[in-house]
Amino acid sequence: MEKREDQILRAAVGIFGSRGYERTSLQDIADVVGVTKPALYYYFRDKDTLYARVVVEALRQLVDYVEARVSRHSEPEDRLREFLMSAATFLGEHRETWLLASGGFWSAATGDYREEALRLRDHFEGMLRDALAQAISAGALRSVDVALAGRLLLSGLNQMHRWHSPDGPLSVVEVADRYLDFVLNGLRAERPAAVSEPPAGARRARRARSPVK
């Protein structure tokens, strides 16, 4: 039989996930589990503590989901692509859990579960950075700051729930795939194949025109 604490946690993931922090009361959660409010307090000190525990649980589910899929690949670029595709798939299929993991992180990172929240976040971002660093070592990618490159891709994922509509032309997984294409291949036009190849330094020279101001 499922432990009472786990029952509460499972109910809380569902209710916080669908209504958000503000519109959820401990009474709502107690009602779903079928316990009294004082019984909740036996397991969780207050609403903030329960919420932080819920966010950590959501983060753990996200990390486990993505890690299981990334670990099937050995090529750095396949691992990089799998990270983004599986994170986007998780967002598409477990939207409420994604929102808890992504949006709740900043509040969970301040209380009782701070250490665990930071550890999971670092592990998640670490998978992305490692794949980028390995692709650089293998010579497939140029030597950029992997933390910054990872942040741009994660920012794209983290903002997606704000604007993406399930009725739109592209799924979240397709959007993540386009983002990865933009970042891997760049937006610069290439010369048409019929035109002779530009000299070897041409692209590098364009890049040199873009210094930090």
Closest distance to a copy of itself from the beta carbon of 43 (Å): 27
Instruction: Tell me: does residue 28 bind a copy of itself (CB under 8 A).
Output: no
Instruction: Tell me: does residue 163 bind a copy of itself (CB under 8 A).
Output: yes
Long-range contacts of 15-24 (CB under 8 A, 24+ apart): 16/51, 16/54, 16/100, 16/104, 17/54, 17/58, 17/96, 17/97, 17/99, 17/100, 18/96, 21/51, 21/104, 21/107
Specify whether the CB–CB gap between 26 and 40 falls below 8 A. yes
CB closer to a copy of itself, 34 vs 201 = 201
**Binders of a copy of itself in range 67-86 (CB under 8 A):** 81, 85
Instruction: Tell me: does residue 179 bind a copy of itself (CB under 8 A).
Output: yes
What type of residue sits at position 182? F
**Binders of a copy of itself in range 118-157 (CB under 8 A):** 132, 135-136, 139-142, 144-145, 148-149, 151-152, 154-156
Angstrom CA distances, 64 to 9, 67, 70, 71, 198, stand at 18, 5, 10, 10, 46
Angstrom CA distances, 196 to 190, 191, 192, 201, 203, stand at 11, 8, 8, 14, 14
Instruction: Tell me: does residue 205 bind a copy of itself (CB under 8 A).
Output: no
Instruction: Tell me: does residue 165 bind a copy of itself (CB under 8 A).
Output: no
Give residues in contact with a copy of itself (CB under 8 A).
Answer: 81, 85, 106, 132, 135-136, 139-142, 144-145, 148-149, 151-152, 154-156, 158-160, 162-163, 170, 173-175, 177-191, 193, 197, 199-201, 203-204, 206-207, 210, 212-213
